[in-house]
Structure 1
Amino acid sequence: MNLKLAFLALFAGIFCTAQENDITESLYGTYDKYREASLDKRRIKHRQLQPLIAEYRQSPKFKVQTVGESIEGRKLSLISIGSGKTEVFLWSQMHGDEPTATQAIFDILNFLDSDDFNDEKRAILESCTLHFLPMLNPDGAEVFQRRNRLGVDINRDALQLQSPESRVLKRIRDSLDADFGFNLHDQSTYYNAERTQKPATISYLAPAYNYEKEVNEVRGNAMKVIVFMNGIIQKYAPGQVGRYNDDFEPRAFGDNIQKWGTSAILIESGGYPNDVEKQEIRKLNYVSILSAIYTIAKGNYKDIPLEEYEKIPENDRKLFDLKIENATYPLLGHDYVIDIGMNRLEVDEEDHNNFWYSSRILDQGDLSTYYGYETFDASGYTIVPGKVHPETMKSVDVLNKLKIESLLKSGYTYIRVADIPKDMLKSPFPIHIIGSKFEIPEFNIEVGINPTFLLEKDGNIEYAVINGFLIDIDKGPADFGNAMIYR
């Protein structure tokens, strides 16, 4: 009899896992149907969300409440759907420059509002009531910064509740007495899964609720759901999942929400190759969060072994946008072989709707334990400083007629322009634009400078690094962002 029961339990587990795999694959395959097309860039604003929220306010399926205001008076909305006993609370963008999950929330809402997946949605909404609080920090989102208008990191304000946004989050959590809480963030694209070159595209944490890092049923349930979500991400971004250190932070919302009795699941959206606007990561959020909600509704997460949580690799931070290995660097009459790691740092435009790159060398020397989204082995290549083209161009328009690759091949990485438009922030060409009186500094490879140099082999310049972008001069620039303007 015991063997028969064990077999039935095993069969039921396999059947449930197969069901969840089916919905995951279907969600991934049909995603474009539900993707909210109006939110296609990271620098989204509060005003862009209001027409979408207004539509849900008119729908009988949803309950929409204004639950507070930001410091600058922007309304905070809670969007709820479902009638089940299990309360699931999801909030996003408590850091204003972390919008990936906000986009995914509106994809999820589109899915829930559709006429598809009726059996799966019935299973979710009869078992769970879902509550979404998108863009908790709209003032920070307005200027694409982490902190709110008060300069407070909302995620470190769970005790003093100094900010109105923090008080809203605490009040909603308490009023719902939520069973599960999804704390949705973005992390640096330079995190990698420990001891691998793969970016930590998604990272998780079931926060500790005390210094001893004890695991009770509440935290254990969060760990089990994370293990389930990890399995989903591995299908679409294998090896690209990390796990945050779980040291207790007594001021953090995630740690306290865990302590208050809600199974808190921290999700951090990191980097993905060639996904500057994080749209593939947005899709992974959509698929994994919906699948997690489904397994919560079915209760299948309960059978997941806790020890699987610790097997997820820890987050590390050893990624560069570009890593040059084994380059020969002539210095004071001697040749040295070094690695160079550089990152393309984003600079917001004045309206915070777009950005440009101002790259920096982050480290140099032996970088054998570091990785790059792009790595170039420069063995046999010598670093050569770029020159200023001897002719001063009258206007930027002239550059459209020049063969920039030929200039790079001849050793020029800077070109003078007499009349640079005042509103021009960056060079769209793979060569720096400098003013008629600007003098370039003495060339050195050192941490903190803009990475611009040439790579020469057997007397021929074959590659250029311009503002941290590697260019094969014979093939021309691929996926080039911008060069700099120095007036």
Structure 2
Amino acid sequence: MKKKLLLVAVILMVTGIASAQKDDFAEKLFANYSTFKEEAITKRRIKHDNILSLLEDLKSEKNIQIQKVGESIEGRSLHLVSLGEGDTDVFLWSQMHGDESTATMAIFDILNFFNSDDYKAEKEEMLQNSRIHFLPMLNPDGAEEFTRRNALGIDVNRDALRLQSPEAKTLKRIRDSLDADFGFNLHDQSKYYNAERTEKPATISFLAPAYNYEKEINEVRGNAMKVIVRMNEVLQQFAPGQVGRYNDDFEPRAFGDNIQKWGTSTILIESGGYPGDPEKQEIRKLNFVSILSALKAIATEDYKTEEISDYENIPNNDRMLFDLKLLGLSYDLNGQSYVLDLGVNLSENDLEDNSEFYYSGRIVDQGDLSTSYGYKQIDASGMHLELGKVFPNKINSEKELQEIDAGKILEEGYAYVRVDTSLLDKKFSDSPLNLVSEDFEVNKNLQPGKDANFFLYENGEVEYAVINGFLVDPKKAESEIKNTLIYK
């Protein structure tokens, strides 16, 4: 009996030590992330030239091998970056969709980690047991335009069977030549996904793709699930409740599903939204920590101790988030007062070379939104909504526009100001008021799809202004409104 108790104690102690080491590694990575962050990339709208210069810098590193493995339709080069000497091949590819760059940024942070003098023991273990391969920015033509599809106008992730695009051919050839044991399919998803039935955004969502319509689980897919369980455990330390699980319906044209079928344990990672993180720098950090933790678990085979059943416990992805949700406001129509919830989203609109953008706010839903959530949420019970009005005085110059008291104008319920045609030649304005032409007419009704420019009144005074989708105190509008719109 004593021997059995001693054995149990030893097992618990060893398990506890392993768990502590696992958590300690992730915690240190998170705490020391700034040491490894690639400072040449600070925004998610990156282009092929941005990564070419970084790859050029890496060529001098003796432990890293870089080879050109293909070209895009428009002739931009595709590169494979490899390191390590172990028997387990791990293949990570990013930006199959040109506007999904979060993991591309994280890949260069991870490469900085391996080039550093820190974590020598952990890196030695990882690189002796694994050979790790990165193919960053698989769709550079799409990245150039910051668009999902490639130059042919197809979704590369639906070209796994026909292999019409050179990008798809390259991905298939590299997967086959490596015969990789593990694959990481790195994507971005909409920021409006949430972890099912919670207000938490699905900041990171995972999927071990199905390899057939029956969604069977063999050893290959099961190993992917176990790695995901480990990554979820790590992320719960830093973004609790903000992990989702992507729908696993089989898609016979998709690369993830087919790569799983071809024998590579495939982990899909989707980077969603995080409050106050429009450039996804915090999500980039979470990618860095969770992917490195997964690479370590694969190298040590620690993932094998995880339970597949825990994969099923990760909440499903849902899509019930708004940028702004207003609850229970009153709105008058045809002499009758109604109670409404409003959901408002901020869309990004590309500028010139697609390196920058401006926002346009729209009402996307109204009515009973009790099953939805908002990044920003206000209980507007007792508040009355009125649509924004046009300021009666015309503004004739940029100087006049800068001199007006925008806060006072907003407090009086004006969301628009008529301006001289010389001020209407841009796509957006830095003023906290929308700029309009002489013949502009305000929306008469509150409807989904319309611009979000209205005011919430309480006791006869403006409590909040919603200007181009931004909820503000009128007195703070100049600092809180990112941009307004210009109506010609």
C-alpha change, 1:373 and 1:328, in structure 2 (3 Å) is same
For the residues of structure 2 that align with 1:451 and 1:17, how far apart are their CA atoms?
49
For the residues of structure 2 that align with 1:83 and 1:2, how far apart are their CA atoms?
41
> How far 1:396 sits from its partner (Å)?
2.8
- Whether the aligned pair in 2 keeps the contact of 1:471 and 1:477 (CA below 8 Å) is no
The answer as to 2:450 corresponding to 1:449 is yes
For the residues of structure 2 that align with 1:74 and 1:330, how far apart are their CA atoms?
56
Q: Name the counterpart of 2:256.
A: 254
For the residues of structure 1 that align with 2:477 and 2:359, how far apart are their CA atoms?
19
- Whether the aligned pair in 2 keeps the contact of 1:46 and 1:138 (CA below 8 Å) is yes
Q: Name the counterpart of 1:400.
A: 402
- Whether the aligned pair in 2 keeps the contact of 1:395 and 1:419 (CA below 8 Å) is no
> How far 1:58 sits from its partner (Å)?
2.3
For the residues of structure 2 that align with 1:61 and 1:282, how far apart are their CA atoms?
24
Q: Name the counterpart of 1:161.
A: 163
**Residues 471-486 of structure 1 mapped to structure 2, 5 A cutoff:** 471-476=472-477, 479-486=480-487
The answer as to 2:85 corresponding to 1:83 is yes
Query: 1:181 aligns to what SS in structure 2?
Result: strand
Q: Name the counterpart of 1:74.
A: 76
For the residues of structure 1 that align with 2:126 and 2:356, how far apart are their CA atoms?
38
Q: Look up the equivalent residue of 2:302 and give its one-letter code.
A: N
Query: 1:219 aligns to what SS in structure 2?
Result: helix
**Residues 40-439 of structure 1 mapped to structure 2, 5 A cutoff:** 40-421=42-423, 423-435=425-437, 437-439=438-440
Q: Name the counterpart of 1:31.
A: 33
For the residues of structure 1 that align with 2:47 and 2:332, how far apart are their CA atoms?
48
- Whether the aligned pair in 2 keeps the contact of 1:191 and 1:319 (CA below 8 Å) is yes
For the residues of structure 2 that align with 1:276 and 1:438, how far apart are their CA atoms?
35
For the residues of structure 2 that align with 1:65 and 1:475, how far apart are their CA atoms?
52
User: Which sections of structure 2, spanning at least 5 residues, go unmatched?
Assistant: none
C-alpha change, 1:464 and 1:142, in structure 2 (3 Å) is same
CA RMSD, 1 decimal: 1.3
CA deviation profile, 1:439-486 (whole Å, cap 9, x unmatched): 224421101100111111221122111111111124445542211100
Q: TM-score with structure 1 length normalisation?
A: 0.97
Query: 1:420 aligns to what SS in structure 2?
Result: helix
Choose 12-21 or 403-412, whichever is displaced more: 12-21
> How far 1:172 sits from its partner (Å)?
0.4
> How far 1:376 sits from its partner (Å)?
1.1
C-alpha change, 1:90 and 1:2, in structure 2 (3 Å) is farther
CA deviation profile, 1:193-244 (whole Å, cap 9, x unmatched): 0000010000000001111111111111110110111111111111000001
For the residues of structure 2 that align with 1:250 and 1:9, how far apart are their CA atoms?
44
> How far 1:403 sits from its partner (Å)?
1.4
- Whether the aligned pair in 1 keeps the contact of 2:247 and 2:316 (CA below 8 Å) is yes
Q: Look up the equivalent residue of 1:457 and give its one-letter code.
A: E
> How far 1:7 sits from its partner (Å)?
4.8
For the residues of structure 1 that align with 2:479 and 2:231, how far apart are their CA atoms?
34
Query: 1:76 aligns to what SS in structure 2?
Result: strand
Query: 1:16 aligns to what SS in structure 2?
Result: helix
For the residues of structure 2 that align with 1:280 and 1:442, how far apart are their CA atoms?
38
Q: Look up the equivalent residue of 1:446 and give its one-letter code.
A: Q
CA deviation profile, 1:351-403 (whole Å, cap 9, x unmatched): 10000011211110000000000011111111112211111111233222111
C-alpha change, 1:33 and 1:422, in structure 2 (3 Å) is same
- Whether the aligned pair in 1 keeps the contact of 2:424 and 2:436 (CA below 8 Å) is no
Query: 1:484 aligns to what SS in structure 2?
Result: strand
Q: TM-score with structure 2 length normalisation?
A: 0.97
CA deviation profile, 1:99-126 (whole Å, cap 9, x unmatched): 0000000000011111111101001000
For the residues of structure 2 that align with 1:96 and 1:300, how far apart are their CA atoms?
34
C-alpha change, 1:58 and 1:234, in structure 2 (3 Å) is same
For the residues of structure 2 that align with 1:480 and 1:442, how far apart are their CA atoms?
21
For the residues of structure 1 that align with 2:272 and 2:443, how far apart are their CA atoms?
36
C-alpha change, 1:243 and 1:345, in structure 2 (3 Å) is same
For the residues of structure 2 that align with 1:396 and 1:381, how far apart are their CA atoms?
35
Query: 2:49 aligns to what SS in structure 1?
Result: helix
For the residues of structure 2 that align with 1:426 and 1:326, how far apart are their CA atoms?
31
The answer as to 2:470 corresponding to 1:469 is yes
CA deviation profile, 1:302-323 (whole Å, cap 9, x unmatched): 0111100000000000000011
For the residues of structure 2 that align with 1:479 and 1:141, how far apart are their CA atoms?
30
C-alpha change, 1:3 and 1:170, in structure 2 (3 Å) is farther
> How far 1:51 sits from its partner (Å)?
1.2
- Whether the aligned pair in 1 keeps the contact of 2:330 and 2:340 (CA below 8 Å) is yes
Q: Name the counterpart of 2:441.
A: 440
Q: Look up the equivalent residue of 2:254 and give its one-letter code.
A: A
- Whether the aligned pair in 2 keeps the contact of 1:211 and 1:247 (CA below 8 Å) is yes
> How far 1:438 sits from its partner (Å)?
2.9
**Residues 5-16 of structure 1 mapped to structure 2, 5 A cutoff:** 7-16=9-18
For the residues of structure 2 that align with 1:94 and 1:423, how far apart are their CA atoms?
36
CA deviation profile, 1:54-79 (whole Å, cap 9, x unmatched): 12222211110100000000000000
Query: 1:239 aligns to what SS in structure 2?
Result: coil
- Whether the aligned pair in 2 keeps the contact of 1:243 and 1:315 (CA below 8 Å) is yes
For the residues of structure 2 that align with 1:433 and 1:475, how far apart are their CA atoms?
19
CA deviation profile, 1:239-277 (whole Å, cap 9, x unmatched): 000001111111110011111110000000000000000
For the residues of structure 2 that align with 1:5 and 1:166, how far apart are their CA atoms?
52
For the residues of structure 2 that align with 1:15 and 1:364, how far apart are their CA atoms?
52
User: Which sections of structure 1, spanning at least 5 residues, go unmatched?
Assistant: none
Q: Look up the equivalent residue of 1:408 and give its one-letter code.
A: L
For the residues of structure 2 that align with 1:462 and 1:11, how far apart are their CA atoms?
58
> How far 1:90 sits from its partner (Å)?
0.4
For the residues of structure 2 that align with 1:486 and 1:240, how far apart are their CA atoms?
38
For the residues of structure 1 that align with 2:428 and 2:131, how far apart are their CA atoms?
48
> How far 1:21 sits from its partner (Å)?
1.0
